[in-house]
Amino acid sequence: MKHLHRILFVLAAVLLFAGCQKMAQNKLTRQMKKMAKVYLQQEQITDYKDLTVSSVDTLTEYGYAKLTSELLGDMANAYEQMYWDDADDTARREVIGLYLKEIQRTKADLDDLIDDGDLLTEGILLFMVSGDYQKDGKKQDFMFLVNPDKKSLHTLDPFGDNLLYKDEE
**Rounded Cα distance, 44 and 54, in Å:** 21
Query: What is residue 1's predicted lDDT score, i.e. its pLDDT?
Result: 54
Global confidence as pTM: 0.76
Residue 52: half-sphere exposure toward Cβ, Cα within 13 Å = 11
Q: How confident is the prediction for the chain on average, in pLDDT?
A: 85
Mean pLDDT, rounded, for 5-21: 51
Burial of 72 (0-12, 13-18, 19+ CB in 10 A): buried
For residue range 87-139, list pLDDT tens digits in order: 788 888 899 999 999 999 999 999 999 999 989 999 999 999 999 999 988 99
Residue 157 has pLDDT above 80, yes or no: yes
Q: Roughly what angle, to the nearest 10 degrees, separates helices 61-85 and 90-116?
A: 160
